[in-house]
Chains A and B, each alone.
Chain A
């Protein structure tokens, strides 16, 4: 397992996680669980932790997650620095520790003056709420694909890497396997488009089904996240079950080549079974399944290494949340 991979995490006071621990993550991690158990929040917490190398990268991840969760509302009203401040002020404390980064946060409120106190990997930073300005720093090899999918500019950003490392032919091969009527994919002036066989013109990708854009986004992001991390919420969104084995084969293959750690969520039994089938076929024992369960207010993660996971699937046991 690569050094940069996150292997464990401890989270306190983040969304539904009051005091939570999980360990034993692999190169590719699929997360299952019932509705509202915290699958997306767990992935976000992992994303924030690996972003927390400094205060600006931490802000970028918080903002990105906040934006993704509220994308539709932001389309109507836009967003501002107050949105990020409201995030800090919604919690008195926050703590996250992994084998990669450790972050402590405390909201200090005295005589009406608010201070945000961060301690990131033993470096303390205090920010007066009145002096807070929206400044972020992006990490190019960490990507988050939300359940709504990429917009065109996010897709373009990742596609540029595919071009830069001369993988367009592989991308086109994968696209052709997904839909054999498509010959080529390109981005013209920010507009992703596909060329059909026996046609001279390109068609905007939004004219195709959502699954195609999601599929291309995943492949481009795997190349763009070399030595980094890729988070995919509801991985099977828009993907027909007959394409799932192909998708997992691509993810397992490229993530190994590019040394990318992948976290993905799903509700689908077909998707989980496909993941097990492909991992077994490729003999990829760096895959992990994470089952999140909630009892009253306690959330637990049951991490299944390769052998355990394959056995659970072969015994037809339910792994999408506790019974």
Chain B
């Protein structure tokens, strides 16, 4: 029996794969040695597509719901209300997710993890030795360039540029809620 994780984009997928590999490394999930976590993650393209129950990727996976796929997890950003009053912000994001659940009408457990603000902000908060980057953050603030891409943390971009394969500090407590959901999700996986 299997599971699926739905994410917004490629960065989210890469991050989840890294986190899952970390859980596997520390035996927090019991999976096959040669498991390819990519198999379990579907990129929807954007938050609006992820919350759109008529998306053709949901049609495709619907055929397997209850047959192969017995549990699903949706992971997305809550983003900023200023950009979208309908589905942004934690409260509205949850409402939109509840609506998605209702419309999909899948009769299997469906869980969700929503990042406060977005993945970039979350990752920056959890970078090990964050104090080393704080000077850069002050510089960015002084130059007032954050308004160019208000949803993207420049420090997160810098971190990714410096480390194309970033090593996030998964020991940070703030990862625990998502870890718990992933551990729970992979409990039912067929080996």
Residue ranges of A at the interface with B (Cβ–Cβ < 8 Å):
293, 295, 298, 300, 302, 304, 308, 311, 315-318, 322-323
Contact of B67 among A304, A315, A322 (CB under 8 A): A322
A295 to B63: give the CA distance in the assembly, Å.
14
Within 8 A of A (CB), among B35-84: 36, 38-43, 56-57, 60, 63-64, 67-68
Q: Does B43 lie within 8 Å of A315, measured CB to CB?
A: yes
Contact indicator A323/B39 (Cβ below 8 Å): yes
Question: 15 A-B pairs, CB-CB below 8 angstroms?
Answer: A295-B67, A298-B67, A302-B63, A302-B64, A308-B60, A311-B57, A316-B36, A316-B38, A317-B42, A318-B36, A322-B2, A322-B67, A323-B39, A323-B189, A323-B190
Q: Contact size class for B?
A: 10 to 19
* A63 to B43 CA separation, bound complex (whole angstroms): 47
Instruction: Give me 7 other A-B pairs in contact (C-beta within 8 A), A304-B60, A323-B2 excluded.
Output: A295-B67, A308-B56, A315-B38, A318-B36, A322-B67, A323-B39, A323-B68
Contact status A293-B39, CB under 8 Å: no
Instruction: Tell me the smallest distance from the CB of B15 to a CB of chain A, in Å.
Output: 16
Contact: A293 with B68, CB < 8 Å? yes
- Using Cβ atoms and an 8 Å threshold, which residues of chain B touch A295? 67-68
The residue on B at minimum CB distance from A298 is: B67
B contact residues around A317 at 8 Å (CB):
38-39, 42
| A156 → chain B closest CB, angstroms | 44
The residue from A293, A298, A304, A315 contacting B42, defined by CB atoms under 8 A apart = A315
Return chain B residues, CB-CB under 8 Å to A300.
Answer: 67
What is the bound-complex CA distance between A323 and B186, given in angstroms? Answer: 12
The secondary structure that dominates the A interface is: mixed
Measured between beta carbons, the chain A residues less than 8 angstroms from B56 are: 308
Task: Contacts A302-B64, A308-B60 given; indicate if A323 touches B38 (C-beta within 8 A).
Answer: no
The reply to whether B60 and A322 form a contact with Cβ atoms under 8 Å apart is no
**In the bound complex, how far is the Cα of B42 from the Cα of A243, in angstroms?**
31
Q: How far is the CB of A302 from chain B (nearest CB, A)?
A: 6
What are the residues of chain A within 8 A of B39 when measuring CB–CB? Answer: 316-318, 323
Q: Which of B2, B40, B43, B64 is packed against the most chain A CB atoms within 10 Å?
A: B64
User: In whole Å, how far is A14's beta carbon from the nearest beta carbon of chain B?
Assistant: 21
Contacts of A316 in B (CB 8 A): 36, 38-39
In angstroms, how far is the closest chain B Cβ from the Cβ of A23?
Answer: 12
Q: Roughly how many angstroms separate A295 CA and B64 CA in the complex, as a whole number?
A: 11
Query: Measured between C-beta atoms, what is the minimum distance from A317 to chain B in Å?
Result: 6
Which residue of chain B has its CB nearest to the CB of A321? B68
Looking at the assembled complex, report how far the CB atom of B136 sits from the nearest CB atom of chain A, in whole angstroms.
Answer: 34
- In Å, the complex CA distance between A322 and B68 comes to 6
Query: How far is it, in angstroms, between the C-alpha of A242 and the C-alpha of B63 when the chains are bound?
Result: 34
Q: Chain A residues near B189: list those with CB within 8 A.
A: 323
Residues of A near B67 (CB, < 8 A) are: 293, 295, 298, 300, 322
Q: Which residues of B contact A308 (CB under 8 A)?
A: 56, 60
Chain A residues contacting B2 (CB-CB under 8 Å) are 322-323
The chain A residue with its CB closest to the CB of B39 is A318
Q: How far is the CB of A36 from chain B (nearest CB, A)?
A: 16
Q: Bound state CA distance, A311 and B36, in angstroms?
A: 17
